[in-house]
Amino acid sequence: MFLYTIQLLVTANKKSVSERIPMKRKTDFLYMKLAGIIREQIHSGVLKPGDFLLSENELALRYGLSRISVRKSLNTLVDEGLVLKKPGLGSVVAAHLPREERRRKTLRIVTTSPSNYADYALGMTIEAFEKEHPHTDVKVLQLSAVDFWKSVHTLQETGPYPDILLVTDRQFRELERKEEYMDLDERIEHTKRMFYPKLLGGFEGTSGLQALPVTFSPVFIAYNPALLGRLGIPLPDPHQYGNGNETFAPLLGLSEDRNGDGIPDLYALSLSHTYNRWPVIALQNGVDFNRLTEHADALRTTLNLLHDMLYRKRTAILYTRNKNSRNIEPFATENAAMMLTTAMELAALKEESLPFEPQAAPIRFGPERATLLVANAIMVPVACPEPELAAAFCKIAVRSDIQDRIGRTSGFLSVLRGINESVWDKAHLQAIRLGDARLDRCLFVHEAFPDSAFISEMDYELGLFWAGLETADAAAERLLRIRSREGE
């Protein structure tokens, strides 16, 4: 079973399709994997006769392959009569394809990309499903998070029609036609009481539970205990919930030039400016993005605090997460002692050979104990080709033995409270805000912000601020004007 990404890239004259190399069985020949992925897409109809592939250079650059590996993949498909090479134009799907007999059933799963859960946890559910349904093949397509729903709708119109979608909590809220997806409440009727109630509430639609959460995480602080030990900084008390500036005073002042080039290369905090990271600091300083004009002073305080850490005191480093460059994340390379993160992100970093065992701490950057909540969930279209198989997959995904295996093997949090309490110790659960089953003061993105349009505008308007080219007050005024225009 291979996990891969497919992105439909349509130009004026031709279509291009790129696919990500599978994450599992890394000892296999890379060119064989790539050839297998493209072969499946041709047989399934995603790639149609006359469709152009990405160029050899684009495939090699996008997926970290050598041009030799890419060329061998394409030559294999040429030998099979699936692909033709047109000099000066590129590689194109052959007009007349050899027939492929299909006797087995196929369950098709579409996931968002990037997705840590799809890369490092979904495979365990698929493995269990395939053991119980040996005559069914599972095919996984990863669509770019950019215009995700537009891509899904295109796939539903042109085929192959997906049976299951793996989405984020924000994507679920952005979907307008939720009535086109099944109510999954009856699929968990015997285990519903084991779920965190807030998680189920976050995925309810007009027709009931229209997405089934499979993992989640509060946003919390992870720190590097080995690095703190080498620096002589005391480890945080996991039971202390004091203000971050008091609890981590020695750490928050950390900024060092270890190689003597005049540029700091060791920071206290690695900080992402994405919508589900830095706003935690705002929430902890009393900002309510839904009533922003009433909290203008708290917003200015937050933005000044961020500028203090990033540019005045230089104790934090701004990092933009990139799926293809996890290994240069400052926290992972021990250039930052802590980071705002999630269980999914930490699981991915560990898979990339993190050189230390991170720990969680209940640090706060302000007087409030609020944080953000992120989650992945599966949805089943009412019109899916294999509704019974999709329903069976849903049950397996949240079954206690599968949730337990994913937690112990990959470090993802379970949607079942009892599993988390058996996998993680109490101090860890308290540090990441799971000591309370109600998930008090843990907010989904749709609860913390007015809507997705505001998030997009906020990201755009803060560009100069994050570059250090605009004052905190000026940036605050920009955000306040957005809310005023929307008639807060």
Average pLDDT over residues 159-185: 93
Judge contact between 185 and 351, C-beta under 8 A. Answer: no
- Interval 144-157 mean pLDDT: 91
Compute CA 253 distance to the chain's CA centroid, rounded to the nearest angstrom: 30
At 18 the pLDDT is: 34
> Which pLDDT score is estimated for 24?
41
Contact criterion met (CB below 8 Å) for 334 and 227: yes
Predicted confidence at residue 259, as pLDDT, reads 84
Which amino acid is present at 347? A
More confident position, 241 or 91: 91
Check: CB of residue 112 under 8 Å from CB of residue 168. Answer: yes
User: 109-113, 245-249, 260-264, 364-368: which has the minimum mean pLDDT?
Assistant: 245-249
Burial of 319 (0-12, 13-18, 19+ CB in 10 A): buried
The answer to whether the CB of 31 falls within 8 A of the CB of 41 is: no
Mean pLDDT of 181-206: 91
Q: For residue 413, is pLDDT > 60?
A: yes
Cα torsion 424, 425, 426, 429: sign:
negative
Q: Mean pLDDT over all residues of the chain?
A: 85
Output the pLDDT for position 88. Answer: 86
Please report which confidence band the pLDDT of residue 2 belongs to, taking 50, 70 and 90 as the band edges. Answer: very low
Q: Tell me: pLDDT of 157 over 60.
A: yes
Query: Band of the pLDDT at 230, cuts 50, 70, 90?
Result: confident
As a whole-number percent, the residues of the chain with pLDDT over 90 amount to: 56
* Integer Cα distance of 327 and 350 in angstroms: 10
CATH value of 220-372+446-485 in 3.30.300.20, 3.30.930.10, 3.40.190.10, 1.10.10.60: 3.40.190.10
Sorted by sequence, the CB contacts under 8 Å of residue 429 that are 6+ apart come out as 420, 421, 435
CB 167 within 8 A of CB 375: no
- Alpha-carbon distance 462 to 209, whole Å? 35
How much of the chain exceeds pLDDT 70, in percent? 85
Model confidence band, residue 488 (pLDDT cutoffs 50, 70, 90): low
Q: Is the pLDDT of residue 16 over 50?
A: no
Looking at residue 258, its pLDDT comes to 82
Contact of 163 with 381, CB cutoff 8 Å: yes
Residue that the structure tokens 């203000």 belong to: 243
Q: Quick one: pLDDT at residue 277?
A: 95
What was the pLDDT predicted at 22?
A: 37
pLDDT digits (tens, 9 = 90+) for 108-139: 999 998 899 999 999 999 999 999 999 999 99
Half-sphere exposure of 215 (CA within 13 A, CB side): 26
For residues 165 and 161, give the distance between their C-alpha atoms in angstroms, rounded to a whole number.
Answer: 11
433-447 per-position pLDDT tens digit: 998 888 989 999 999
Q: Is the dihedral of CA 436, 284, 455, 20 positive or negative?
A: negative
What was the pLDDT predicted at 13? 34
Judge whether residue 286 has pLDDT over 90. Answer: yes
Q: What is the pLDDT of residue 251?
A: 60
What is the number of other CB atoms lying within 10 angstroms of the CB of residue 83? 24
pLDDT at 276: 94
Q: How does pLDDT run across 466-485, given as a tens digit for each residue?
A: 999 999 999 999 999 988 77
pLDDT at 7: 40
Region 446-459 average pLDDT: 93
Q: Smallest Cα–Cα separation from 381: which of 215, 195, 175, 199?
A: 175
Who wins on pLDDT, 440 or 219?
219
245 pLDDT more than 80? no
- CATH dotted code for 9-93: 1.10.10.10
Task: List every span in the chain annotated with CATH 3.40.190.10.
Answer: 105-216+375-426, 220-372+446-485
Task: pLDDT band for 17, please (50, 70, 90 cuts).
Answer: very low
Average pLDDT value for residue range 160-174: 95
The pLDDT of 170-184, averaged and rounded, is: 93
Q: Is the pLDDT of residue 23 over 70?
A: no
pLDDT at 25: 40
Q: CA triplet 23, 29, 35: central angle to 5 degrees? A: 80
Q: How confident is the model at residue 27 (pLDDT cuts 50, 70, 90)?
A: very low
Residue range 105-216+375-426 in CATH 3.40.190.10: yes
Distance of CA 222 to the CA centre of its chain: 17
Give ranges for CATH 1.10.10.10 in the chain: 9-93
- Residues 184, 28: Cα–Cα separation, whole Å: 38
pLDDT band for 232, please (50, 70, 90 cuts). confident
